[in-house]
């Protein structure tokens, strides 16, 4: 990338130097976009997202992007074909805004469909009536071992099919069978075991397969372990989908930024400056929404001159979301006040490996049983997509991933119902080698810890689709 920047002012605008990396992009981008199309088509989630119009349109868009790259754009081997490839990258960069908007709309629509129990999207064994029926007919819902909570075998569960894929099954489709030898002590009391598929094994129930703390701790299950498993599998899929989109867009936008604007997306920044701006903009949105002064955001930075390497608008969008959430929680929890709200603290620290932020509020906290829902893409404070809403292709939408000028327009966002949301914030942090953690005390407040890795050698997270299918 440094070589591209140095050659940008050459007679051909850096296109000759760009050919060194253009060949890689020409091979890599179709693979990434193709994986995204396969992921949407195969749909590891138990919910039938292919019935959601926005996801159908999203798949069509990605298929067209793939065709544009693979079939209509020749390999950049000459100045003319290199220029054509650059134009294709610019088109893909512009289209990414529409794709991310469709994804956000699709998640809202999917959440609405699940809440309203749309029979086209929600399988029968995940509907409330089925859950209640299982609860009424099962004498003992779970058998607890020292390491695993084994679900009642009369309930749907995740299992390994002969193909090696994880699938959800309805026990009504099972046939009576004898207790398997290795499961006799654990399952004999339930009187029924699955004989289909043949490779089902007692140690491969959803609590182990999901590898999620909420699946391993039955106390956190909401009404039914199968629902929790379905939620976790859906979240893992959208984690993967967002990470795949993030990596693809970074490759495209970084190269376009160098050729068109003369700088990388990844820059040496002063995190405190970005944190100050994010806190200021979030406070203005809060004040505009409620009509009275927002709680004070106190910024604490023992080392104010710290620098690190990061994508500025991604750091801004993450801190903006965290402070915005803290402001809303504080005002809603102390809704009888119109002033003298508890102070929100934004603390920045720096070490040899990390630059970290802590956003602390006294907004009432979150019960333990609801902590896992924080990371759900299906929890939304906004209704389904309005049919009268303009299509993404006809109006420019604000999205942290789709625009390097996000910081100039975030101030126009509403207090909630738009923006990245905590699941996406965590995915951005993890993509760059960091993380986002929340510690909450019900009745008091929440501390959000955002960690940025200072390593310049952080590898891209594994994006293997086959781990989900």
Residue 401 per-residue DSSP state: T
- How large is the average pLDDT for residues 441-459? 90
Measure the CA angle with vertex 398, ends 314 and 375; round to 5°. Answer: 55
Phi-psi region of 338 (alpha: psi -120 to 50; beta: other; left: phi over 0): alpha
Share of the chain above pLDDT 90, in %: 42
Lowest mean pLDDT among 116-125, 126-135, 269-278, 408-417: 408-417
Which position has the higher pLDDT, 382 or 128? 128
CA distance 217 to 148: 8
Number of CB atoms found within 10 A of residue 38's CB: 15
What digits encode the pLDDT tens for the residues 295-331? 999 999 999 899 999 999 999 999 999 999 999 999 9
Query: What is the reported pLDDT for 130?
Result: 57
CA distance 449 to 458: 20
What digits encode the pLDDT tens for the residues 231-246? 888 888 999 999 999 9
Token pair, residue 336, equals: 């009888």
- Contact of 122 with 113, CB cutoff 8 Å: yes
440: confidence class by pLDDT, cuts 50, 70, 90 = very high
Query: What is the reported pLDDT for 342?
Result: 95
Query: What is the reported pLDDT for 457?
Result: 74
| CB neighbour list of residue 158: distance below 8 Å, 6 or more residues apart | 166, 167, 168, 204, 205, 206, 209, 210, 229, 233
Query: What is the reported pLDDT for 456?
Result: 72
What digits encode the pLDDT tens for the residues 175-216? 444 444 443 333 333 334 333 333 323 333 344 445 455 444
Q: ω into residue 197 within 30 of 0, thus cis?
A: yes
Query: What is the reported pLDDT for 12?
Result: 53
What digits encode the pLDDT tens for the residues 254-300? 988 888 888 888 899 999 999 999 999 999 999 999 999 999 999 99
Reply yes or no on whether the pLDDT at 139 is more than 70: no
Reply yes or no on whether the pLDDT at 19 is more than 90: no
- How large is the average pLDDT for residues 54-69? 95
CA distance 445 to 330: 8
| CB neighbour list of residue 46: distance below 8 Å, 6 or more residues apart | 123, 126, 168, 230, 233, 234
Query: What is the reported pLDDT for 459?
Result: 75
CA distances from 230 to 73, 100, 122, 384, 387 (A): 40, 24, 11, 21, 28
CA distance 469 to 462: 15
The end-to-end CA distance of the chain, in Å, is 35
Query: What is the reported pLDDT for 415?
Result: 54
CA distance 41 to 55: 10
**277: buried, middle or exposed (CB in 10 Å: 19+, 13-18, 0-12)?**
middle
Q: Sign of the C-alpha dihedral, residues 425, 427, 431, 433?
A: positive
| CB neighbour list of residue 462: distance below 8 Å, 6 or more residues apart | none
Which position has the higher pLDDT, 209 or 344? 344
Helices 225-261, 15-42: crossing angle, 10 deg rounding: 160
Reply yes or no on whether the pLDDT at 218 is more than 50: no
CA distances from 32 to 28, 245, 321 (A): 6, 8, 28
E-only strand ranges, 60-130: none
429: confidence class by pLDDT, cuts 50, 70, 90 = very high
Query: What is the reported pLDDT for 324?
Result: 95
Number of CB atoms found within 10 A of residue 135's CB: 13
CA distance 270 to 312: 9
Query: What is the reported pLDDT for 82?
Result: 87
Lowest mean pLDDT among 212-216, 360-364, 374-378: 212-216
- How large is the average pLDDT for residues 131-144? 45
pTM for the predicted model, two decimal places: 0.75
**Per-residue b or e along 165-199, where b marks 16 or more CB atoms closer than 10 Å to that residue's CB:** ebebbebeebeeeebeeebeebbeebeebbeeeee
| CB neighbour list of residue 372: distance below 8 Å, 6 or more residues apart | 214, 220, 228, 231
Q: What is the mean pLDDT of the chain?
A: 75
Query: What is the reported pLDDT for 58?
Result: 94
């Amino acid at each position: 990338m440094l070589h591209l920047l140095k050659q940008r002012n050459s007679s051909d605008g850096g296109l000759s130097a760009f050919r060194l990396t253009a060949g890689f992009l020409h091979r890599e981008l179709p693979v990434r976009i193709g994986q995204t199309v396969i992921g949407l088509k195969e749909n590891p989630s138990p919910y039938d997202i292919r019935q959601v119009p926005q996801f159908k349109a999203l798949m069509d868009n990605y298929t067209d992007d793939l065709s544009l790259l693979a079939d209509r754009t020749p390999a950049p081997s000459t100045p003319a074909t290199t220029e054509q490839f650059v134009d294709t990258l610019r088109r893909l960069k512009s289209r990414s805004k529409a794709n991310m908007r469709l994804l956000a709309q699709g998640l809202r629509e999917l959440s609405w469909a699940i809440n309203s129990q749309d029979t086209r999207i929600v399988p029968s064994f995940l509907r409330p009536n089925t859950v209640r029926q299982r609860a009424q007919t099962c004498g003992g819902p779970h058998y607890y071992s020292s390491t695993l909570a084994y679900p009642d075998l009369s309930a749907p569960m995740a299992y390994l099919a002969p193909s090696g894929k994880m699938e959800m099954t309805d026990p009504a489709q099972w046939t009576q069978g004898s207790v398997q030898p290795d499961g006799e002590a654990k399952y004999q009391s339930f009187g029924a075991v699955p004989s289909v598929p043949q490779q089902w094994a007692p140690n491969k129930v959803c609590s182990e397969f999901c590898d999620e703390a909420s699946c391993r701790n039955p106390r956190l299950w909401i009404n039914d372990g199968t629902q929790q498993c379905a939620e976790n599998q859906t979240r893992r899929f959208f984690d993967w989908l967002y990470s795949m989109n993030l990596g693809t867009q970074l490759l495209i936008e970084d190269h376009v930024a160098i050729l068109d604007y003369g700088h990388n997306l990844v820059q040496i920044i002063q995190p405190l400056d970005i944190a100050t701006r994010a806190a200021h903009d979030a406070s203005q949105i809060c004040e505009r929404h409620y009509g009275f002064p927002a709680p004070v955001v106190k910024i604490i930075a023992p080392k104010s001159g710290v620098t690190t390497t990061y994508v500025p608008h991604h750091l801004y969008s993450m801190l903006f979301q965290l402070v915005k959430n803290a402001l809303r929680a504080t005002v809603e929890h102390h809704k009888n006040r119109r002033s003298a709200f508890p102070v929100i603290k934004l603390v920045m620290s720096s070490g040899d490996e990390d630059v970290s932020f802590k956003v602390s509020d006294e907004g009432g906290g979150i019960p333990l049983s609801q902590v896992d829902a924080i990371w759900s893409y299906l929890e939304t404070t906004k209704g389904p997509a309005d049919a009268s809403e303009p299509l993404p292709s006809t109006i420019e939408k604000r999205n942290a991933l789709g625009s390097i000028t996000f910081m100039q327009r975030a101030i126009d966002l509403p207090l909630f119902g738009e923006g990245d949301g905590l699941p996406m914030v965590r995915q951005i942090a993890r993509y760059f080698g960091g993380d986002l953690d929340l510690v909450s005390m019900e009745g008091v407040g929440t501390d959000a810890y955002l960690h940025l890795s200072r390593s310049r050698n952080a590898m891209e997270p594994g994006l293997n689709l086959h781990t989900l299918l």
